[in-house]
Amino acid sequence: MSTLVLTLLLATLAAGADTSQLPKEAAGALDPAVKEAISHFNKVQDQLRTDPRVESAGSPKDPSMLRATYRRANSGYQVTGIEAGAAPVAAVRVRAIELEKRVTNVNAGDIRAEFSRAPWRETPRGWVLDFRFRWTGKTWEPMGDPTEFPTLGVAGE
């Protein structure tokens, strides 16, 4: 019995939220709003690829490692929740990958020059991004930045 209940619960969660409780206009406008939010997220993250925030380990004058990361959100998403009402709220989950640039000072060379030439590589860490949107009656507006949760691998893929 408990296995059946657990299976049904997981199947319900995997199917996502039912958008039929949204006004027709709101349901039709959700997909473009989510895609725009994903595009904006990726644009901000691409700035970190161009101008990375470099983390270092070791002495500031002679670091033993330099590292930088950015994320790339996938285009697919899942509606995880709908709060119906006069101004409905939709919760949407997006998967993302993390890319990293890293060099270590093994050979006592110019680590900063090596860092500038190092390639970006996909890491085993994935991210789950939870976006929230509020319907204004005409458009979906993002409710702040997404909440980000690290995972091992790209969750759901």
pLDDT at residue 153, rounded to an integer: 62
DSSP-assigned beta bridge partners for residue 99: 70, 122
CATH architecture assignment, domain 21-52+68-102+120-152: Roll (3.10)
Predicted confidence (pLDDT) per residue in 60-91, tens digit = 888 889 999 999 999 999 999 999 888 999 99
User: What is the rounded distance in angstroms from the CA atom of residue 80 to the CA atom of residue 131?
Assistant: 10
User: What is the rounded distance in angstroms from the CA atom of residue 81 to the CA atom of residue 93?
Assistant: 9
Span 121-131, average pLDDT: 94
Map out the domains of the chain as residue ranges.
Answer: 21-52+68-102+120-152
CB 129, CB 150: distance < 8 Å: no
Radius of gyration of the chain from Cα atoms?
20
pLDDT at residue 154, rounded to an integer: 52
pLDDT at residue 31, rounded to an integer: 96
pLDDT at residue 10, rounded to an integer: 40
User: What is the rounded distance in angstroms from the CA atom of residue 88 to the CA atom of residue 23?
Assistant: 9
Q: Would you say the pTM of this structure is higher than 0.85?
A: no
Residue 32 CB neighbours (<10 A): 11
